[in-house]
Structure 1
Amino acid sequence: MDRFGNKVTPAKNYTLIDFVKEKLNELKNYDNIANKDSPLVSIKNFEDIHMDADLLKAVYAAGFNRPSKIQANALPLLLADPPLNLVAQSQSGTGKTAAFVLAMLTRVNKKLNYPQVICLCPTYELAIQTGEICTKLSAGITVIYAVRGEPNPSVAQITEQIIIGTPGKVMDWGIKYKWFDLSKIRVFVLDEADTMVSTQGHHDRCIRIHRKLDLSCQMIFFSATYDDEVLDFVQYMVPNPKIIRLPREQECLDNIKQYYALCRGEESKYTAIQNIYGGITIGQAIIFCNTRKCAAWLTRKLTKDGHSVAVLSGELNIVERLSILDRFRAGLEKVLVTTNVLSRGIDVTQVTLVVNFHMPILHGDEKPDYDTYLHRIGRTGRFGKHGIALNLVENENDMKLLRSFEAHFRKPIKLLNTNDSDEVHKLEH
């Protein structure tokens, strides 16, 4: 089957190992793989790997013309036979969700009507987004959501082949109520794995689920960031993993222009946002606040001044949060004010501006939160597009945080005078 859905008769039926042997000579200057003995080959086209014809057709129909860098490097490992365990790091917006979704779909036996794959996500929104991608590519494979607000199964035993959900709900379904057999799961995926293993509640539930899995179950852990402590724990959970860490954090930010503006209080910050929004052409913008109170205040101000704006924070119920996200993706609101509930994993390709109304700090102290900063500004510059990140600096402590982010990521954060219309207008060029 070629990329246009036409049937092609292969001249030779290669196995994956044959393919790897043929392509080994093409590997040059590749140093981002932790396991040097890995049988990794960077593919150039989706036809280069063994994929069901219907699934391949769905891939192209969904607009995936060529593999992204993470897909090109991860898919040969994910689809290898026998299955390999994989721990992969790649920045948001690089196509990692599609990579592990393709692995999930490939491993499903369509003739068996029971859960064969589990994908755990840290939030309801991320689970729904992953499920939407899975359904788009599913080619007849059934999916069920194990998340708060979704109805419980209507039968004693779940017949859907893929479960996508949050750890607490999946644990209840599989261990408490025994609505499916965890020992029959063939693929176990952790999305945003650093959050899953470092957050206490998720951490404990993931371990309890993991203990019920068969030793032959393929383990796939994906995230945009890993620190050494989390990576050590992940490797403890995943036997003999292959490890991919690309691109490096600094490379992730190459297509995002970072700036800061000096402000005097919240009203001054608001003026800076107004000047930016009025001075350049913006697709959509996300503004991050550290508190719900500030997010609500800022939303009222923007709405009063005629902006199409929505607010998303943790006190909203699931239906409200999903509705707001759907409206924002559809472009019905141009500005989304939010707390860290939206900093991870949500794809809205039209976002061209991210504003840190408050600098991200670690909970309980004033130290810089590097992961949250990376995830926040990573909401723009999706899939190689260019984006702008603006940090609003109010005091000396904010400036120390800014310099810490600048030093950590080794990327300049330039001063921007938001009161100078000419300087603001230059941002588009």
Structure 2
Amino acid sequence: MATDSWAQAVDVQEATTVPVQFDFSRKNDRMEFSRRVRGEINGNIVPNKTENGGRRDEGDRPDLAEQSLLNKMIRHTLVKNRNLVEVLQRDPTSPLYSVKTFEELRLKPQLLQGVYNMGFNRPSRIQENALPMMLAEPPQNLIAQSQSGTGKTAAFSLAMLSHVNPANKWTQCLCISPTYELAMQIGQVIQQMGKFYPEVKLAYAIRGNKMDRGSKLQEQIVIGTPGTVLDWCTKLKLIDPKKITVFVLDEADVMIATQGHQDQSIRIQRLLPKDCQMLLFSATFEDSVWKFAERIVPDPNIIKLKREEETVDTIKQFYASCNDKEDKFTALCNLYGSLTIAQAMIFCHTRKIASWLTAQLTKEGHLVALLSGEMTVEQRAAVIERFRCGKEKVLVTTNVCSRGIDVEQVSIVVNFDLPVDKDGRADCETYLHRIGRTGRFGKKGFAINMVDSPHSMNIIKQIEDHFNRKILKLNTDDLDEVEKLIN
């Protein structure tokens, strides 16, 4: 997709935002992306929906849409996924196809060129099985579990681009995403992949793009949020839903957690022809997601990531008994002075404690970065990038950073506050995600838990019982013992 054709596609929407390629490792590109998706569209200030107006509970729980966007922004390459892929075909007698190269897919030459231009040398594990199904004739429906960073956006983007007939000047492929930021991210992927396929054009169905009722879109691919897409199909009649051949629903788990999106998605699906190809993706497959997927996607093939056993085998776990936060800080300083540490992540329960701890560590001369929920997603991405590059050795954070952040140099995780659920019991899932930030890529890792009350000691016992793993006591005042146990 050449730049001029993209500009023309956006002109049809009367929008001021023209999709360009962004490199999120560069500060200027992150700032420009932020301006485009959070700033002014057609003179209307678009409020930051995903930040909930700055209102968040004191525990700083991560917003699913924010977390997904953050993961997309900070990942420069595909994740190293060790999960096996389980494929359940709607027709068990049909041969199971998988590919090891993109050439095997018999793509249009201009799309193959776009794939290689993006840096994909071979299909990822999820792409090996998903792409043959998505590109099959006759079309096959698909429900796929895939975390951010596994190449699923590139996979369904390639499927949409492959199924488009550029000679037909109407919308043929429809993709809905929970937020306009995530929709813009998908557009970036399609732009890059379609760089050498200028005949295909894209439109964004997002808030602020004002269209005249009754005019018809000529763009073959439309990406947007459920409410705006539904309006474009029904009230404004910009899209004839009966001409849609591919329908993609991305981030299904985030979608159903957003008020109204689930019903809007189902209403869109009911407008589509019965032979329309349905593709649904979700990072998780809880019961609510399954029920939603079954309503949206009839007779699907299913691709699931076989869940890895919850394992802490490569992580040595300890707890340190303390009296209060000042005592915990002293223990932390003793630990840090005794360990050979590349980088450390320290988890706090609240922003207030995280800010206090950051200030104290900075006074002690440590290079410290702070990450918490009042920051914009772009600010968080910048902090993580600095930490990943080693410009700060310590990252103090709340639960907004408990999942999906892979930094190879992290050798120790400290739970300054233990993770608990709303009932005050051990949140073992969050605990696993937290300590899983160390021990990455087969390396040894260490987790230190600060215990400052009988209640927090009880939390340690609950965690031990859940994982059937003993957490050893560490006397942080005895530096010789610390070195012996940990180094």
Query: What residue identity is the alignment partner of 2:110?
Result: D
Give the Cα–Cα distance (whole angstroms) in 2 for the partners of residues 97 and 268 of structure 1.
Answer: 47
Larger RCO of the pair (alpha carbons < 8 Å, separation 6+)? 2
- CA distance in 2 between counterparts of 1:70 and 1:192 reads 15
How far 1:91 moved relative to its partner? 4.4
Q: In the alignment, which residue of structure 2 is the partner of 1:309?
A: 369
1:151-230 alignment, distance < 5 Å: 151-152=208-209, 158-175=217-234, 177-230=236-289
- Whether 1:102 aligns to 2:158 is yes
Conservation of the 8 A alpha-carbon contact between 1:416 and 1:423: no
Q: Which residue of 1 aligns with 2:299?
A: 240
1:289-304 aligned within 5 A: 289-301=348-360
1:81 aligns with 2:134: no
- 1:322 aligns with one of 357, 362, 378: 378
1:62 aligns with 2:121: no
1:40 aligned residue (96, 99, 109) = 96
Mark the CA change 1:137 to 1:214 in structure 2 (over 3 Å): closer, same or farther. Answer: same
Superposed CA deviations along residues 210-233 of structure 1, whole A, max 9, x for unmatched, are 333332222222223212453243
Query: 2: distance between equivalents of 1:145 and 1:287?
Result: 40
Q: Are the equivalent residues in 2 in contact too, given 1:358–1:391 (CA < 8 A)?
A: no
| TM-score, scaled to structure 1 | 0.68
Q: Which moved more, 1:102-111 or 1:263-272?
A: 263-272
What CA distance in whole angstroms lies between the structure 2 residues aligned with 1:291 and 1:75? 43
Q: Secondary structure at the match of 2:86?
A: coil
Q: 1:365 corresponds to which residue?
A: 423
Structure 2: how far apart are the matches of 1:387 and 1:191? 35
**Local SS of the residue matching 2:175:** strand
Shift of residue 360, structure 1, vs aligned partner: 5.2
Query: In 2, distance between residues paired with 1:170 and 1:380?
Result: 41
Change (3 A) 1:118 1:360: farther
Q: Which moved more, 1:36-45 or 1:390-399?
A: 390-399
Question: Residues of 2 paired with 1:80 and 1:116: CA distance?
Answer: 17
Is the 1:416–1:424 Cα contact (8 Å) retained in structure 2?
Answer: no
Equivalence for 1:402: 463
Distance across 1 between alignment mates of 2:326 and 2:270 = 52
Deviations 1:153-207 (A, max 9, x none): 5776555444444444544555555554444433332333233235544323322
Residue by residue, what CA displacement relative to the aligned partner does 1:321-344 show, whole Å, maximum 9, x if unpaired?
334425644767656655555667
TM-superposition CA deviations, 1:71-109 (whole Å, max 9, x none): 112111121112211112244443333333322332333
- TM-score of the pair, normalised by structure 2: 0.61
* Aligned residues of 1:198 and 1:230 also touching (Cα < 8 A): no
After TM superposition, give the deviation of residue 41 of structure 1 in Å: 1.7
**Structure 2 CA distance for partners of 1:157 and 1:227, relative to 1, 3 Å:** same
Does residue 279 of the first structure (1) align with residue 340 of the second (2)?
yes
How far 1:244 sits from its partner (Å)?
A: 1.4
Is the CA contact (8 Å cut-off) linking 1:276 and 1:424 kept in structure 2?
no
Matched residue SS, 1:249: coil
Report % sequence identity.
44
In 2, Cα distance between equivalents of 1:385 and 1:226? 27
Contact conserved, 1:78 with 1:84, CA < 8 A, in 2?
yes
1:240 deviates by: 0.3
State the distance in 2 between where 1:255 and 1:54 align. 46
CA RMSD of aligned residues (A): 4.4
Larger CA deviation: 31-40 vs 96-105? 31-40
Report the count of equivalent residues.
381
* 2:126 partner SS: helix
Unpaired runs of at least 5, structure 2: 1-83
Larger of the two Rg values belongs to structure: 2
Cα pair 2:143 2:279 within 8 Å, conserved: yes
8 A Cα contact 2:177 2:225, kept in partner: yes
Shift of 1:239: 0.1
SS at match of 1:75: helix
Q: Describe the SS at the equivalent of 2:209.
A: coil
Shift of 1:242: 0.7
Which secondary structure state, in structure 2, belongs to the residue aligned with residue 250 of structure 1?
Answer: coil
What stretches of structure 1 of length at least 5 have no aligned partner?
A: 1-29
